[in-house]
Amino acid sequence: MEQYLVFAKSLAKEAEEIALKYFSFEVENTWKEDNTPLTKADTEINDLVINRVNETYPSHSIRGEEKSDRKEGSQYIWVCDPIDGTMPFSCGLPIFTFSLALIDQSNGQPVLGVVNDPIMKNMYWATKNGGAYRNGNKISVAQNTTLLNTYLNIDGSGRDLNFSNLPLLKSLSENKCKVMKLLSVIYGGVQVANGKFVGTVFYGPYPHDVATLKIIIEEAGGRVTDLNGEERRYDEEGLGFIASNGILHNEILECVKLGKL
């Protein structure tokens, strides 16, 4: 696992160079069929990940947001979001990360996760039963027991998953919890592990948006489930994502469930 971690960190630094090469207030982008932006940084980093994994671990599969390379019978699959936060990135806003998780396909669970924030020079990582770290310093979730005077990140509307986020927003407002919508679920999610946010809720199906968060937040002492409070796989699509400091998880979950359509 240490070898895999060294590989993932090195790849994250290569991806950082590409992201910073393109990042500016004049970022050019096109639009995908799902009405989300796509930049050259997204595609170049995705291609980089596929090439590096194939060179170093040719039996491993790769699932990227923009392109994948599946191998039949592979034990491991690398799940990558080359630029999580393409919307702010494409507007020249410094809220984006590179994300890479290694998933054991026997159970669909991550055994390693690396997230890199190129602007703040923060690299987060975790391995199974090895703790969670930011730049080599161990991190842990916040210990808040109420939502009062806390932050929580929400991404996605939930319509595609037959959920509405309105009951959660109403409850958070009533409990004086401040809601952020960073348009980068991983950027917001690592702040749960970092002890800055008490939770993050993602109303979307895609594993590349949440696979790294699963292991980093849990290794930092938090709790992670899908929108129904159940476990999910991270090598395929699933029913969204709730991550919390653990203490407030059931409270957040019950508010999310009120939005089930």
What domains, with CATH codes, occur in the chain?
Answer: 2-138 (3.30.540.10), 151-257 (3.40.190.80)
d(CA 241, CA 260): 14
Q: Which candidate, 162, 158, 147, 139, places its Cα nearest to that of 248?
A: 147
Q: Which pLDDT tens digit goes with each residue over 201-252?
A: 999 999 999 999 999 999 999 999 999 999 999 999 999 999 999 999 999 9
Q: What percentage of the chain reaches a pLDDT higher than 70?
A: 100
For tokens 């129904």, the residue is 228
pLDDT band at 34 (very low <50, low <70, confident <90, very high): confident
d(CA 201, CA 225): 10
d(CA 108, CA 98): 21
d(CA 98, CA 109): 19
Pair of tokens at residue 71: 């191998």
Q: Which candidate, 245, 244, 16, 235, places its Cα nearest to that of 114?
A: 16
For residue 158, the model assigns a pLDDT of: 80
- pTM given for the model: 0.97
Whether the per-residue pLDDT at 159 is higher than 90: the answer is no
Whether the per-residue pLDDT at 174 is higher than 90: the answer is yes
Q: Which candidate, 223, 4, 207, 231, places its Cα nearest to that of 111?
A: 4
Q: Which pLDDT tens digit goes with each residue over 80-125?
A: 999 999 999 999 999 999 999 999 999 999 999 999 999 999 999 9
Whether the per-residue pLDDT at 157 is higher than 90: the answer is no
Return all residues near 73 (Cβ < 8 A) that are at least 6 apart: none
CA gyration radius, the chain? 17
